[in-house]
Structure 1
Amino acid sequence: MSAPLPHLRAGRGPVLVLVHGYLGGAAQWEAEIARFSATHDVIAPNLPGFGAAADLPGCDRIEGFAQAVIELLDQLGIDRFILLGHSMGGMIAQEIAANHADRVERLVLYGTGPLGAMPDRFEPLDTSRARLVDDGVAATASRIGATWFLKGEDAAGFAAVRDIGAQASVQAARAALDAMAHWDGRPALDRLTMPTLVLWGDNDRSYRWQQVESLWRNLPLGQLAVIPAAAHAAHLEKPRLFHEMVEGFLEDA
């Protein structure tokens, strides 16, 4: 059996799994781990090729990332869990929930949508792929990370996003763009039968309202929460409001 995927873990209680997105890492969830570990057993994996798992081969399909997370939870002896995924991590969370609905108690889909190609993204995935080759991972993490905040590079959370993103391997960064481009979760939305919160910053430039609305309206038990004056990294821009919205959803269980 392979070694468990590098991850952060804290707290006791119902298991809450936090899945980061493209050019992310478990370290981005520092405030969430501190907040939710008071009531939950919080597990934050580093996806293969990113963050503390940068030495592992990255996945070129969303299904591969989903399998890596499930393998970690199996190795930790976790059967049932609450799942929160951000951006690409929200695609991974949808994939897990569709194929392991009996294990996912509640689902939070944050800053994400049902289609990996991300129509109306701040730039097409092909442009990101070309610029990654030309500029390298660190510059790409800085450039893309700035789009996640209303204040861009002046935002309080930008430096953390930039530094975490720069840890990714070139192979993983390129493969993940392919993974997103090939993923379409729309046919599986009716299999996400658990209570689900769709959480979105109203100035998100990665996922626009049309995609978010499509996700929310096609979920059997979908709820919608919008964080005003926030972009793609709403958990860093408006942490108090983000935490209150997630906590309110978890308390309804």
Structure 2
Amino acid sequence: MTPIVFVHGFLGGSRQWQGQVDALAGYDVVTLDLPGFGENAQLDALSSILGFADWALNELKMRGIEKFHLVGHSMGGMVVQEMIARAPERVDRLVLYGTGSVGVLPGRFETIDTSKTRACADGPQATARRIAATWFLERERAVTYEDCAAIAEQSSLKAILTGLDAMHSWSGAESLSAIQAKTLVLWGDRDRTYPWSQTEKLWQSIPNANLAVIPESAHATHLEKAGLFNGVLSDFFGAC
């Protein structure tokens, strides 16, 4: 069976996908930790989205995983767009979740420059907790907020600044029409990080793309509406 590889977003990590690992128990699920984040917070974050993509492709090759499905969330959605651009023959199906094709993030809850300035002023832990709160409709009151915040707090100030710079300088818009894999674009309709314009661009520009919008959820739809999210993924991969 083709493995499903999950790539987390900015300040995320592999542990945030436990609900998906459990729900997709019949599949071989692989959850990566990008350098500088999650369980790899001790590693230096890479300076570009392309660098993260090359790292992920090499990591999977070292694990003996040659062909796979890909799920990318937020910054991880940028990473998987570069992965499929670099190695289209290795990717069977693609899920672009809560992400976009332009790293400058128009419509984000604050600009990337503002996030960098506030990170330097407030420090990494306070920044991690503040940004993690924006992922949920109920912010800090969300049931799974503390778990996400704990993962986010593992990243250093250097990793936060490097990750923000990597996103800010990236665009994959010109490569969307070349994606041939069956693709699912998945979005929470109250996302504070990626507005509808980013989602619509993916859906309309990728030739073989379907769209799923999960209501009453923000940037962490896989946690806020886990049942709906997991059902959509199961349906998408079950149709292989």
TM-score by length of 2: 0.98
How is 1:5-16 mapped onto 2 (pairs within 5 angstroms)?
A: 13-16=1-4
- SS in structure 1 opposite 2:20? helix
Matched with 1:54 is 41
> Alpha-carbon deviation of 1:177?
0.4
Runs of 4+ residues deviating >6 angstroms = none
- SS in structure 1 opposite 2:165? helix
- Runs of 5+ consecutive residues of structure 1 not aligned to the other structure: 1-12
> Alpha-carbon deviation of 1:172?
1.2
Matched with 2:92 is 105
How is 1:79-228 mapped onto 2 (pairs within 5 angstroms)?
A: 79-228=66-215
- Residue of 26, 45, 49 corresponding to 2:32: 45
Partner Cα separation in structure 2 for residue 139 and residue 16 of structure 1:
33
> Alpha-carbon deviation of 1:80?
0.5
Superposed CA offset, 1:95-143 (max 9, x none): 1011111110000000001101110100000000111111111111111
- Residue of 11, 16, 20 corresponding to 1:32: 20
Contact 1:142 1:162 in 2 (8 A): yes
Partner Cα separation in structure 2 for residue 53 and residue 59 of structure 1:
12
Partner Cα separation in structure 2 for residue 98 and residue 196 of structure 1:
14
Superposed CA offset, 1:15-35 (max 9, x none): 110000000011111111122
> Alpha-carbon deviation of 1:55?
1.0
Partner Cα separation in structure 2 for residue 58 and residue 227 of structure 1:
31
The one-letter code matched in structure 1 to 2:20 is E
TM-score by length of 1: 0.93
Partner Cα separation in structure 1 for residue 95 and residue 50 of structure 2:
18
> Alpha-carbon deviation of 1:215?
1.0
- SS in structure 2 opposite 1:241? helix
- Residue of 197, 222, 227 corresponding to 1:235: 222
> Alpha-carbon deviation of 1:87?
0.2
Contact 1:54 1:168 in 2 (8 A): yes
Superposed CA offset, 1:226-250 (max 9, x none): 0000000000100000000111111
User: Between the two proteins, what is the percent identity of the paired residues?
Assistant: 47
Partner Cα separation in structure 2 for residue 139 and residue 22 of structure 1:
15
Superposed CA offset, 1:155-190 (max 9, x none): 011101110000012211110100000100001111
Matched with 1:19 is 7
The one-letter code matched in structure 2 to 1:135 is D
The one-letter code matched in structure 1 to 2:143 is A
The one-letter code matched in structure 1 to 2:15 is A
Partner Cα separation in structure 2 for residue 98 and residue 204 of structure 1:
26
> Alpha-carbon deviation of 1:213?
0.3
> Alpha-carbon deviation of 1:51?
1.0
Task: Give aligned pairs, total.
Answer: 240
Matched with 1:9 is none
Moved more, 112-121 or 38-47: 38-47
The one-letter code matched in structure 1 to 2:213 is V
> Alpha-carbon deviation of 1:48?
0.1
